[in-house]
């Protein structure tokens, strides 16, 4: 079967804003009354109305934890000159309804039986908060949070972190870095802040690219294995995943035979030459997930069971995920005679 276009409306959810919490002078949390099924570290993709009629799409990580009883929430920090973040900070109000894609992303711990080192800068704290709260409330390992901000005033979730320190005094360590007092973070500076016994830890990093690189180096010299370091990159989407897409027809039987197991259902089709797997699957009517189609959000991740693909762009998967066979459907073209893959 082939179809001419894909109506992405089936992937959207309407979110009712229940409460807006002012976190700092330039950041807000939007708490939703709509129940959501998500994993710690995942993000929503919101449709942001625009005065010129063409809405923009932006990703925002859930700062709430699915493991606690709290309502689903995102936290947004103003970007200077930015469109969506300023619209949200200025306009969002209780009672408002926003359109979103379902939660997506692979910045999600796959195991909880090791100590965690969480490293965040600025708004990068949002997925880290979700992971932190989940680790502390549902699992038993130690957690070290290293949190960099411009100044003490710009620290989001300061009260929540104080409360967690009171509840988990032996399992949680929080170390702050303030740029206004200590300058830009350095390898040696971050290493000094780290607890000494992090060798066995899994690390999750979120913040600006140069900060994450400094943090990665400090972690590696502190004994954290490179393959246990996971990163989330924040960037604005340049495409609009809310628009219907017109995938390449695949019904001719020409191309690489693919067997795809999607949420337990097996689909067989051919992926035409030079066509990315996401387009081929959408063309077959397969409900394959995607958001950015640019290789930087991880929403379209799948696991290769056999065969090989070439990825045009990969701005999100790390070495650990690649070694496990994870690939991006929006960027992958088959380079073997056949393929078997799985989307969970
Ligand atoms: C997976 C993921 C999760 C994320 N989670 C969060 C989160 O939890 N919280 C959060 O606050 N953010 C998060 N982000 C970032 C967020 O999606 C936006 O990128 C951010 O809010 C900035 O969007 P904006 O529309 O305000 O800025 P944009 O309008 O996209 O502008 C970004 C910057 O580019 C500049 N700019 C814009 N247009 C031009 C132009 N034509 N020429 C030159 N410069 C230009 C702007 O001045 C601004 O400095 C996440 C991103 C991703 C991918
Ligand atoms: S849809 Fe974002 S990486 Fe593929």
The reply to whether ligand 2 has any atom less than 6 angstroms from the CB of 105 is no
The whole-number pLDDT of residue 198 equals 81
The reply to whether ligand 2 has any atom less than 6 angstroms from the CB of 282 is no
> How far from 266 is each of 3, 200, 259, CA to CA, in Å?
18, 38, 7
- Ligand 1 test: best mutation among 48, 236, 328, most atoms within 8 Å of CB? 236
The whole-number pLDDT of residue 319 equals 82
The reply to whether ligand 2 has any atom less than 6 angstroms from the CB of 298 is yes
The reply to whether ligand 2 has any atom less than 6 angstroms from the CB of 343 is no
The reply to whether ligand 2 has any atom less than 6 angstroms from the CB of 299 is yes
- Ligand 1 test: best mutation among 79, 87, 205, 298, most atoms within 8 Å of CB? 79
Please give the DSSP secondary-structure letter assigned to residue 249. P
CA pair distance 106, 89, nearest whole angstrom: 27
The reply to whether ligand 2 has any atom less than 6 angstroms from the CB of 295 is yes
The whole-number pLDDT of residue 254 equals 86
Q: Are 83 and 56 in contact (CB under 8 A)?
A: yes
The reply to whether ligand 1 has any atom less than 6 angstroms from the CB of 61 is yes
CA pair distance 156, 192, nearest whole angstrom: 23
**298: which 2 tokens?**
């991880």
Q: Domains of the chain (ranges plus CATH)? A: 8-104 (2.40.30.10), 116-232 (3.40.50.80), 256-343 (3.10.20.30)
- From the CA of 314, how far away is ligand 2's center (Å)? 9
The reply to whether ligand 2 has any atom less than 6 angstroms from the CB of 328 is yes
Phi, psi angle pair for 320, to nearest 5°: -60, -45
CA pair distance 173, 152, nearest whole angstrom: 18
The whole-number pLDDT of residue 3 equals 39
Please give the DSSP secondary-structure letter assigned to residue 248. P
- From the CA of 168, how far away is ligand 1's center (Å)? 34
Kindly give the confidence (pLDDT) of every residue in the chain, 344 residues in length, as a single tens digit, with 9 standing for 90 and above: 333 444 444 478 999 999 999 999 999 999 999 999 999 999 999 999 988 788 899 999 999 999 998 999 999 999 999 999 999 999 999 999 999 999 999 899 999 999 999 999 999 999 999 999 999 999 999 999 999 999 999 999 999 999 999 999 999 999 999 999 999 999 999 988 886 678 889 999 999 989 999 999 999 999 999 889 999 989 898 888 887 666 656 566 789 999 999 988 999 999 999 999 999 999 888 989 898 898 988 999 999 999 999 999 998 888 888 998 999 999 999 999 999 999 98
**What is the number of the ligand 1 atom nearest to the C-alpha of 232?**
1
> How far from 104 is each of 54, 61, 142, 249, CA to CA, in Å?
23, 9, 27, 26
Ligand that comes closest to the CA of residue 28: 1
**232: which 2 tokens?**
């989330």
The reply to whether ligand 2 has any atom less than 6 angstroms from the CB of 59 is no
Residue spans of alpha helices (H) in the chain: 84-91, 125-138, 158-167, 179-182, 187-193, 209-221, 277-283, 319-323
Residue 21 φ/ψ region, left for φ over 0, alpha for ψ in the -120 to 50 degree band, beta for the rest: beta
Using a 10 angstrom Cβ sphere, with 0-12 exposed, 13-18 middle and 19 or more buried, the burial of residue 139 is middle
């Amino acid at each position: 079967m082939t179809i001419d276009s894909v109506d992405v409306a089936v992937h959207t959810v309407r979110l009712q804003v229940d409460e807006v919490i002012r976190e700092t002078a330039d950041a807000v949390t939007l708490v939703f009354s709509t129940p959501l099924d998500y994993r710690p570290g995942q993000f929503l993709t919101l449709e942001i109305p625009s005065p010129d009629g063409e809405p923009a799409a932006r990703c925002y990580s859930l700062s709430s934890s699915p493991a606690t009883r709290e309502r689903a929430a995102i936290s947004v920090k103003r970007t200077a000159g930015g469109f969506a973040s300023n619209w949200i900070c200025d306009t969002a109000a209780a009672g408002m309804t926003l359109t979103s894609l379902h939660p997506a992303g692979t910045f999600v711990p796959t195991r909880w039986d090791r100590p965690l080192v969480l490293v965040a800068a600025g708004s990068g704290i949002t997925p880290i908060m979700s992971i932190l709260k989940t680790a502390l409330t549902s699992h038993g390992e130690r957690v070290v949070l290293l949190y960099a901000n411009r100044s003490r005033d710009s620290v989001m979730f300061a009260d929540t972190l104080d409360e967690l320190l009171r509840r988990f005094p032996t399992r949680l360590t929080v170390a702050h870095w303030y740029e206004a007092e200590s300058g830009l973070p350095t390898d040696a500076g971050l290493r000094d802040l780290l607890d000494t016994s992090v060798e066995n830890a899994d690390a999750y990093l979120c913040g600006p690219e140069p900060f994450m690189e400094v943090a990665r180096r400090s972690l590696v010299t502190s004994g954290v294995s490179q393959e246990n370091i996971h990163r989330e990159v924040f960037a604005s989407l340049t495409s609009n995943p809310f628009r219907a897409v017109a995938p390449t027809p695949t019904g001719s039987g020409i191309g690489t035979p693919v067997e795809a197991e999607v949420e337990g259902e097996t689909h067989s089709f051919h992926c035409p030459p030079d066509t990315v797997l996401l387009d081929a699957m959408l063309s077959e009517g397969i409900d394959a997930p995607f958001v950015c189609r640019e290789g930087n959000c991880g929403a379209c991740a799948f696991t290769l069971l056999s065969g090989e693909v070439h990825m045009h762009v990969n701005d999100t998967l790390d070495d650990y995920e690649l070694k496990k066979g994870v690939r991006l459907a929006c960027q992958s073209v088959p380079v073997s005679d056949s393929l078997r893959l799985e989307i969970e």
